[in-house]
Amino acid sequence: MTAKWSARTGGVPRTSDRPEHTGEPVRHPADAADQATGEARPASPASPASPASPASPASPASPASPASPGKATGANTAATDEPAAQPTRRTPGPLDPAALAGGVAGATALAPLIDLVLESLAKGTVERGGPTPAGSPAAIAAAAATAVEHNPLPDKGIGAEPALAELSRLIAMGSADPADPRCAGHLHCPPLAIAVAAEVAAGAMNQSLDSWDQAPVATELEPWVVRAMAELVGYQPDQAGGVLTSGGTESNLMGLLLAREFAPTQRPRVYCSAAAHFSVQRNAGILGLGEDAVIPVPVTADQRMDPAALVATLMADRAGGYRPIAVVATAGTTDFGVIDPLPELAAIATAHDAWFHVDAAYGGGALFSDRLAPLLRGLDLADSIAIDLHKFGWQPVAAGGFLTRRASAFDPLTRRVAYLNPTDDEDLGYRSLLGYSLRTTRRLDALKLAVTFRALGRTGLGVLVDACHDLAGHAATAIDAHPRLVLAARPVLSTVVFHFQARHRDPDQVNAALRRRLLTEGSAVVGRTEVDGRIRLKLTLLNPHATTADVDALLALVVEAGEAEDTAEATG
């Protein structure tokens, strides 16, 4: 049994081909040679710290160290004349699945594992041979089941090397790879290598930002990253507040939560454009406001919220006894990337004493670009903002941010928990971020952002944004010039909506089928949406290293698949 799902991809090794894992550390082949010759294996260049180095103040004795003399090791320990048996200290091997990533020996344990992951990713990527795995959903599901032998938690483990190598290779083989120029279906960016490297450091240290003593420097780093983001959107950084989130959905939830607390009422109303993200309505339901409390406001011909329609809807609702608690604008809609008229909407929200939240999950990253930043004029008028840097920011998921113009807006989230943020600790400088998040345990997402910001700077990130914007412009021009493709609108940011013009079959069926054909072939990932009830295709161009030739090749694949689907029934 293998994980093979197409003729061009390989499978994972069968379990029967592996040596049985005994539970002992799995040693690197070089270690066996060293043992035979009596020579010591040199330390990995990536792991300068030796296990014999003195422990740092932050790394006292390992939990595996023998118990101190005179201390009871269990509730039923009885007095005896025999010396107490000392636990055997485990010496982790280089591929020991139970080795720890942190501590003095962490780098030594990680180095061969990371090498193995990189080797497996390279193999799997070559075997995939395209932007996404070829094959049907059923075939890919079967490959995943086979890779874990229908039981990812066996009674007896198979060892670090086969487990890590096989599944890393499987993920590379079976993933939609946003670094491939032909993978352009969603707001799903290819992450920067430097950001992924920073994630390794964050994962190894495994900090949790719910208390200072679990994440000392991480607790101090995140506010600096939040401050940089606040400055980017135009807030006064000394007055603003913010926190890193899992993405736009969580950030929008927090925006509506603060809006609810800002103006409690029995008959609330939330207003957003008909093109707003679905999370606005769902989050209103989660918060107890009711999904029907969200009123979609008509959009103008360019897909932006219509301020006049908003005013008319507000006035009608007020006359009916409803209380507007929030106006939610969008800066970068998912399909067309359009940005609502922020200054006008801010003025309307203020006039009606409603919270003004801007979902800039997509468009916020355009602020890195001198060319595109003016499109977000008025963003600084928002009471709160959602921004995602795993879109226009090239970060591994998750890298969301939630910002408020006033830090005091977070007051409703304040909690005092004796074991996390006692008052006397905070009074002595042990900062707590607990009151900024809906989550308790939170990972160190600030590290990859801080590394990226410092490495590239705003200007460097702006170059990447502009490159994607240029690609979208080229795609739109190419679509407009092609006799079988129809452009829906000129792009604002980096999304391009269009459709294939069918001649023989139903256009919606052809456009839906051509996209699935490309997926099954593993040749391209193209997005799908609906405009005025009709199926449309979408390119979301977030690869700054792609070329205009890559875009042309992708459109050629769309046309080829469209022509095949358009004639399939007529000739069949």
The predicted-structure confidence for 162-194, as pLDDT tens digits, reads as follows: 999 999 999 999 999 999 999 999 999 999 999
Q: Which residue has the higher pLDDT, 28 or 153?
A: 153
507 to 12, 178, 185, 339: CA distances (angstroms) = 40, 28, 20, 29
Alpha-carbon distance of 352 to 314, in angstroms, equals 8
Q: Among 9-13, 116-120, 231-235, whose mean pLDDT is lowest?
A: 9-13
Range of lowest pLDDT (330-344, 401-415, 557-571):
557-571
Give the model confidence (pLDDT) of 195-220 as tens digits.
999 999 999 999 999 999 999 999 99
Enter the DSSP assignment of 197: H
Higher per-residue pLDDT: 216 or 38: 216
Quickly state the pLDDT bin for 408 (edges 50, 70, 90). Answer: very high
Sheet holding 485-487, edge to edge: 183-184, 525-531, 534-540, 495-500, 485-487
> pLDDT-based confidence at 95, cuts 50/70/90?
confident
Question: Quick check: 83 pLDDT over 80?
Answer: no
Assess whether pLDDT exceeds 70 at residue 36. no
pLDDT of residue 501: 98
Of the pLDDT bands very low, low, confident and very high (cuts 50, 70, 90), residue 1 is: very low
Joined tokens for residue 121: 């990713």
Task: Give the pLDDT band (50/70/90) at residue 569.
Answer: low
Pairing relation of β-strands 400-404 and 384-388?
Answer: antiparallel
CB 121 within 8 A of CB 50: no
pLDDT at 285: 97
Res. 92: pLDDT tops 80:
no
Stronger pLDDT, 200 or 28, i.e. the higher one: 200
The pLDDT of residue 133 is above 70: yes
Closest alpha carbon to 274 in 540, 3, 531: 531
119: left (phi over 0), alpha (psi -120 to 50) or beta: alpha
Instruction: Specify the CATH architecture of the domain 208-443.
Output: 3-Layer(aba) Sandwich (3.40)
CA distance 130 to 175: 10
Instruction: Work out the mean pLDDT of the chain and round it to a whole number.
Output: 87
Q: Which pLDDT belongs to residue 64?
A: 37
Question: Could you tell me which CATH number the domain at 459-567 has?
Answer: 3.90.1150.10
Residues 6+ apart with CB under 8 A from 112: 28, 44, 94, 95
pLDDT of residue 85: 53
**What's the mean pLDDT in 547-561?**
98
Structure pTM? 0.84
- 3-state class (DSSP) for residue 355: strand
Grade residue 568 by pLDDT with cuts at 50, 70 and 90.
confident
Question: pLDDT tens for residues 314-371?
Answer: 999 999 999 999 999 999 999 999 999 999 999 999 999 999 999 999 999 999 999 9
pLDDT value, residue 60: 35
Position 87 pLDDT exceeds 80: no
What is the DSSP secondary structure assignment for residue 299, as one 8-state letter? Answer: B
pLDDT at 570: 54
- What is the pLDDT at residue 19? 44
Over residues 459-505, the pLDDT tens digits come to 999 999 999 999 999 999 999 999 999 999 999 999 999 999 999 99
How far, CA to CA in Å, does 180 sit from each of 88, 125, 189, 544, 550? 49, 10, 10, 11, 9
Span(s) in the chain for CATH 3.90.1150.10: 459-567
Residue 530: per-residue pLDDT: 97
Please list, in sequence order, all residues whose beta carbon lies within 8 angstroms of the beta carbon of residue 3, skipping any fewer than 6 positions away: 11, 12, 143, 144, 146, 147, 170, 173, 174
Could you give the residue range(s) of every CATH 3.40.640.10 domain in the chain?
Answer: 208-443
